[in-house]
Every structure is written in structure tokens, then in C-alpha cells.
Structure 1
């Protein structure tokens, strides 16, 4: 047994993955820990590079791309730690992050799931370490542009949780999977990630299922890391369609039957409104808004796939 198992699932992120592992090694931890990397059949030499430069890492070479959820489940099966820390390959830990997040988890056993504070490469705050859960109101605000008009408003962008700078300890609905600590025993009790999710939404589902058991996920500002948002995935229409599919699955699984039709309608309106707006704007400023029009057009065309979520 070891105290901590750090799980990293990668797909064609060779340079970022090596930097992330170097940061883990440089930061270190005062407690026994292991690092497990599952490579999702990358074609960029990621697995060979890890084997060459980090022989201490336990490397799982997958012959298939399992996605984020199943990839972490496979890695967790090999973990020997009492705690699991999910870490994205497009991150770099700050000094003391591992010791701090472990101590925070042990000091707040009712939290169940724990996260830290994330930053962009330039050192500015990246708020996407945690979110509020989706609600009928939050989806309405998103669908009709209120979140874009009032991005720092707790009323019109409740999932952002207002103007909170992630600079205090706080209970949250969702800890994002880029830096997520959980006891192995709770992970096993929850059955890990729901593998119906390919990518996006599985961390929210895990946290909401933990909350249903009485746990209250928490964030500490004292465990920091750099996170390059989207570096491990493109910002294409395909990514937005996956986001929509994951959210539709969360609606079906965690919303009451009364509100599910509303959630599906707001998902539809979110895509339709953005497609329509970008199409109109692209006629005036084609260079600026043409790519957005094409992206949202792709999401709109795939609505039959994402509107009901994962089966």
C-alpha cells in the first residue's frame, strides 16, 4: 500500500504529459505515492517517451482509446493508494500541492471529493477547478445569453458561482476532473466514473452521486496548479457536441422527471441560438464569425446524437 495514487490519462499529448510528470516529480510529496499513466493508444509516441524518461511511472499501454472516464477506471483498478488523485496531462502542479490536498482531504472527511485552485500559464486565475450544478434556471440563462452578458453574476451565471475567486475554502457541487482527490474506498463504493460518459460530465456525475450519499465536495485555494484549458482536446464542434451529450446525460440522470423536458429544450435552444447568432454575424464579419458559424453548424447537425445523452 501507498498513501496516494496519481492517475493520468493521456491521448496524443506527449510534450504536455512529460511536463506534467516532471512537475509531479519536482514537487514531490512527503508521503509515499505512485504515478500511473494510462495512454489511450496515442500515435505521437507518448507511451514510449514516458517509459524512457520516467521509468518509475507505472505505464499502461492501451490498444484502444477508452476516453477519459473508462481510462481512469482502468488506471484506478491498478492503484495501490488509499487516495486517488486524478490529474490531467495539461497541468503542472505548484509546490506543496500534493501534501496540501492530502492534508485537506484528511481534515474534511465529510467532503468525500476535493479540489484545488487552478491558474492559466500566465499566472492568472482559471476558475474552472469547480462549478455549481446545472439547474433549470442556469440552463435558461445559458441558452438565452444571460451568462455571456453577465458572466460574473451569481444570479445569471450560477454555475460560475458569482465573482468568487476560488481564494477561500468552500463547499462546491462539482470538482473538475483535471485535479480531483478522492478516497479509494469511496471511489470503489461509487463504482468509479460512469463509463457511459466518453468525456465531459463524468466528474459532475461522480460528485453528484457522492452528494447523494451525504458527502459535500470541497475546494482549497492552497493546493494550486497550472491548467491549460482544452489543451488535451480540441475546441471543435465535435467537442461542443460531446459537452452537450454529457450535459444531456446529467439532466436525464440527476433531474426530476418534471424538469427533464425543460432541460432538453434549453439544450436545444443553447445550440440553436448560438448557431443563428453566429450565422447572422458572419454575413457582416465573415472572417471573425465564420469559424464560429461553422462550429455551431456542426453541433446543430449532430443534435440527433447528443440531445438525449448517452444511452
Structure 2
């Protein structure tokens, strides 16, 4: 049976409940995809970068939904992008989904996403509407960042951002991104849910392995525009439980700064 959709999830010391919820959502959405007539197989690559608990119950639920899985382990913590690249180097479906271990997708998310991609062969990368735990929209499509944008968005408390509201609205594309309208070719999209046409992803060689964590999705988004069109499709809806680097401690702040330096060195510095 031809493989319609593959997906990869990279886990490093994950929150077990969140990962279980992500896999449960994948099982539900995969089953809905099959009911909609997409009988081709779906396959999960679960990449264990270290500290991933036994997810046997969740993986059994995937199997009951007709979703096979491959566990990739034993390589240590190689980083987010390089972890996904371990899956991207393997056989993929017609489409490949880069998925965070803290994403809950709506039950019809995969069906809506595949329908859109099938109807628009010019699109090689799809990003969904993303909401937080409170049901508020997260504006994760981005314009090319300035250094000031990153500092304000990543590190200033919300109470101190008011003088920068117009700047942040531009950076977060708030004039274009909403819960109802498809938007074409946002410059940068979030790595928490990136649905690729696999032939495009293979041509891009996946993520740049020089990023350990942070900015690998910025890099991949910008390179994708050289090969294909990108679409924000709000008919595809997910919930994201993640947080920013500044809320995760000094090690994450250091990794964020190192990756930002690599990103700007590659694509060009933009200060203000």
C-alpha cells in the first residue's frame, strides 16, 4: 500500500502526558483521514533524543488506527533538526509532517491539510492555524525578523511590550493571519507543525544541522521559498502547549542566542 503521509516527532525528556496527547491526536486524525477515503498508509517516526518514557499504550492506539511506527533511538541528543533529519533520510510518504511533541491537532486536521495539498500541487509547505491552551490564536507566521523584534518578542514581559505593539504586529503578520482566511507565502512558519510535500523536503535536505535548537524552522522556511509556495491554511487547526526560550532557563537563552547568530550570519543581519 503506498504511503500517503509520514510524520516525525522528536522527543527529548518529553512531558509524558503531552506526548501521549500528541500521539492520541495523531491517531484520531489519522483514523479520520482513512474514513475520508485516504486509504493509503500513515507512518510515524518517533525519534528518541533521550529520556523518552515507554509510550507503548499510545503506540498501540496508533496501530489500532492503522498507523505504523518506527522508533529511532540510541543516537543521543543530536538536537531538534538533526533528529528530524534521521527520519527525513528514510522512506517518506507523499507528504511528511514535522510535528512537535506538544501539539494537539483537531480530529479533521490531517484530512483538511491533505485535501488542500492535493488540490494545490504548487504548494510544498503548509502551516496551520495555531492556538494556545486558552484558545487564543498564536501568531507564528513571521516576517523576516530584526534583532529588536527577537529581543522584544522573546524576552520582554508582556507588560513592557506596549511601546513595541506596532512593530510586533508587523513581525507577527497580524494584518494578514486570522482564523478564517488562507494566506499565501508567509516568509517564515513555525516548526511545531510543518506539512511538506516530501519531494520538496528531500530536495531541501531537511533541516540545517548547524542549528541545535531554535531558528532551524526559520532557516528551512526561507529556503523552502526557493523551491515552492507556502500556504497558511486556517482550516487546519492545532493547539500548541509550548513556551518560549526565556521561560525555559539560561541554557535555552544561550541556545537561542547561538542559533540567532548563525541565522543572521547566513541570511543577513537586520537590526531595527
The alignment's TM-score, normalised by the length of structure 2, stands at 0.82
Question: Residue 35 in 1 paired to residue 56 in 2?
Answer: no
Q: Could you list the per-position Cα deviations for residues 181-216 of structure 1 after superposition, in whole angstroms to 9, with x for gaps in the alignment?
A: 111111111111000011111111111112234x33
Question: Residue 74 in 1 paired to residue 81 in 2?
Answer: no
Matching residue of 1:166: 178
Q: 2:249 aligns with which of 190, 214, 236?
A: 236
Residues 47-56 or 24-33, more deviating: 47-56
Secondary structure of 2:207 counterpart: coil
Matching residue of 2:233: 220
Matching residue of 1:45: 53
**Number of paired residues?**
255
Matching residue of 1:24: 26
The 2-side partners of 1:134 and 1:233 are apart by: 17
More helix by share: 1
Aligned CA distance change for structure 1 residues 216 and 60 (closer, same or farther; 3 Å): same
The 2-side partners of 1:41 and 1:47 are apart by: 13
Residue 252 of structure 1 deviates from its aligned partner by 0.9
Alignment of 1:23-172 (within 5 A): 23-28=25-30, 29-30=33-34, 31=38, 32=40, 33-42=42-51, 44-46=52-54, 54=62, 56-128=68-140, 130-135=141-146, 138=149, 148-150=161-163, 152-153=165-166, 155=167, 157-167=169-179, 168-171=181-184, 172=186
Secondary structure of 1:7 counterpart: strand
Residue 96 of structure 1 deviates from its aligned partner by 0.7
Q: Which has the larger radius of gyration?
A: 1
Residue 11 of structure 1 deviates from its aligned partner by 1.1
Bigger relative contact order (CA 8 A; separation at least 6): 2
Secondary structure of 1:174 counterpart: coil
Q: Could you list the per-position Cα deviations for residues 122-165 of structure 1 after superposition, in whole angstroms to 9, with x for gaps in the alignment?
A: 3222223x2222147746976997x9225652x45422113555
Question: Residue 184 in 1 paired to residue 204 in 2?
Answer: no
The 2-side partners of 1:136 and 1:51 are apart by: 42
Matching residue of 2:266: 253
Aligned CA distance change for structure 1 residues 185 and 240 (closer, same or farther; 3 Å): same
Unaligned runs of 5+ in 2: none
RMSD: 3.0
Q: 1:208 aligns with which of 222, 231, 235?
A: 222
Unaligned runs of 5+ in 1: 267-311
Q: Could you list the per-position Cα deviations for residues 38-66 of structure 1 after superposition, in whole angstroms to 9, with x for gaps in the alignment?
A: 11121x52466666665542211234111
Aligned CA distance change for structure 1 residues 46 and 178 (closer, same or farther; 3 Å): farther
